[in-house]
Structure 1
Amino acid sequence: MLESRTPEEKNNINIISKPEETWKEVLNIDTKENKFDKIIDEASSKFGVPRELIKAVIKAESNFNPIAISPKNAMGLMQLIPSTAKEMGVEDVFDPYQNIIGGTKYLKMLLDRYNGNLFLALSAYNAGPDRVDKTGGIPNIEETQNYVDRVLKFYKEYSQKSK
């Protein structure tokens, strides 16, 4: 059952402690995605990356779980691997501010590297720029292709909500 869940769902297993609580209350569905808006707005302004794109990456990477850790040792909201975190100046990957600023800085670097090509930048964010450079496009990796599709879906949803 757990295997059929999306990566962002796997990072958020919560237990209802009181029977009268609803899943919505326990998961704070209405507020979870807005909890980091001030940091996201600052990162968006600082690096010129659309706030909706930053939110979409966070949703796909960690489902807004600041202490998420992937099997590949990516950590925090934007799932930074240790070497990328260090390169972006992030000392505490579990600090939402540092993680969002560092993750957005990295995303901006990739967008610049691929001349604003969102497909390539997102592929590189997921699979690494070396793989994208080697293939000259989106790597033929199912996980990466699904990741790009998920981020773009969330980006579209957040963009429509902000209108």
Structure 2
Amino acid sequence: MTFFNNLKLCTRKIYLQINTHNKIYKKLIPLLSVSMILYFSFYCPSTKFTQEGLINSLSHRNPPNWLMPSHPGESIDIELTKNYKRLKLMEFRKKTVVLQLDIKELFEKNKSDNSSRYILRDDLSAVVSTLAEFWAITIVTDQDHNEKIIVGKGSQPINLNDRVLRWQTEIEAAADKYHLEPALIAAVIEQESGGEPESLSSVGAIGLMQLMPSTAELMGVNPYDTIQNIDGGAHYLQLQLESFGDVQIALAAYNAGPGEVENGHWIKIPETIAYVEKVPVLIRKYEQIWQEHSEKSQESQDVRSTL
């Protein structure tokens, strides 16, 4: 009985402290609740799921009929679904670490400005959305149309075996955010890194879009995080397009730097000349791929709507 009385007293003290101090503590209550759920589900040794057991269970689960009406030519691709969930679980853990660091910094430095709250909000949103994707998404094989479909995120067909198109979801998100064509971002990724997220150039350019550390800092992203790398590269591309108004010149600025474009020196750099010749060819390639995917997706939806 004494234990429960002490627990009640401690809870009351915490409530009073939250109630009498900065309003930000009140806003942190939902965050702390989510953090506790995540901790007991994935980190606490006595309560967490085994990783492979959870992935295996979720990968064998059929998508709900309202989300993906059953069709004779469709079946779950168990192995691809497992691989996708492993990738999302790794991504979730990385983002959870970032969120934990944000919370620690918030309390240690007693920050209460809007920018800190916005960063915390965005990072929490990223953690929750990644967890939702890990939990919900299933990859389905449509044998009639020879394609893979991600169920749970727009049901858009993708090719997870392609080194560039396996990042289609992230590419489309960045394209939508910065008002770019997905084909442009995909083409730059292929030219820069061949779709290898661990790529590191001899001059220190990092990741899928080969961001220099100074560029990543300017864009406010971590270049070693794949999603942030794509986001930062897309943002930098957008800035070059806004500055120069032409795709070819913007590509030259992306490759050689805006200073080399402004002084006209880029036309004397063989690497940049080759870059602005190759990337437009890749853009046309990916435009065709996206167009074909769109047509197949629409065709699949029309077929299912008649069933």
Query: What band does the TM-score fall into relative to the shorter chain?
Result: 0.7 to 0.9
TM value normalised by structure 1: 0.77
Residue 193 of structure 2 is matched in structure 1 by 62
The one-letter code of the counterpart of 2:254 is Y
Q: 1:100 and 2:230 equivalent?
A: yes
**Corresponding residue number in structure 2 for 1:19:** none
What letter corresponds to residue 49 of structure 1 in structure 2? L
RMSD of equivalent CA atoms: 1.6
Does the 8 A contact of 2:256 with 2:266 survive in 1? Answer: no
Q: Aligned pair 1:162/2:290, yes or no?
A: yes
Could you tell me whether the CA contact under 8 Å between 1:76 and 1:96 is conserved in 2? yes
Q: What do residues 82-131 of structure 1 show as CA deviations (whole Å, max 9, x unaligned)?
A: 1000000112x12110000000000000000012x011100000000000
Q: Distance in 1 between the 2:207 and 2:269 partners? A: 23
- Deviation of 1:160 (Å): 1.7
CA apart distance, 1:74: 0.6
Match of 1:12 in 2: none
Equivalent residue of 2:166, what SS?
coil
User: RCO (CA 8 Å, sep 6+): is it higher in 1 or 2?
Assistant: 1
- Please tell me whether the aligned partners of residues 47 and 104 of structure 1 are also in contact (alpha carbons under 8 angstroms): yes
Of 102, 109, 112, the residue aligned with 2:242 is 112
Q: Secondary structure at the match of 1:123?
A: helix
Amino acid at match of 1:71: S
Moved segments of 4+, more than 4 Å? none
Partner Cα separation in structure 2 for residue 33 and residue 78 of structure 1: 11
- Mapped to 2, the partners of 1:140 and 1:149 lie a distance apart of 14
Instruction: Specify the SS of the correspondent of 1:101.
Output: helix
Residue 5 of structure 2 corresponds to which residue in structure 1?
Answer: none
Q: Which residue of 2 aligns with 1:43?
A: 174
Count, aligned residues: 133
Residue 212 (structure 2) aligned to one of 81, 93, 106: 81
Percent of aligned pairs with the same amino acid: 39
Gaps of 5+ in 2: 1-158, 292-307
Amino acid at match of 2:226: P
Check the 8 A contact 1:119/1:138 in 2, yes or no: no
d(CA) in 2 for partners of 1:34, 1:61? 14
Higher percent of residues as strand = 2
Aligned pairs (5 A) from 1:25-44: 30-44=161-175
Instruction: Compare 139-148 and 51-60 and name the one that shifted more.
Output: 139-148
Rounded Cα–Cα distance in structure 1 between residues aligned with 2:285 and 2:187? 9
Bigger radius of gyration: 2
Distance 1:29 1:61 in 2: 19
The answer to whether the 8 A contact 2:205-2:211 is kept is yes
Q: Deviation of residue 29 (structure 1)? A: 8.6
> How far apart in 2 are the matches of 1:32 and 1:79?
15
Aligned to 1:123: 252
Matches of 1:104 and 1:70, distance apart in 2 = 19
TM-score (normalised: structure 2):
0.42
Q: Which residue of 1 aligns with 2:278?
A: 150
- Distance change in 2, residues 1:56/1:147 (3 Å): same
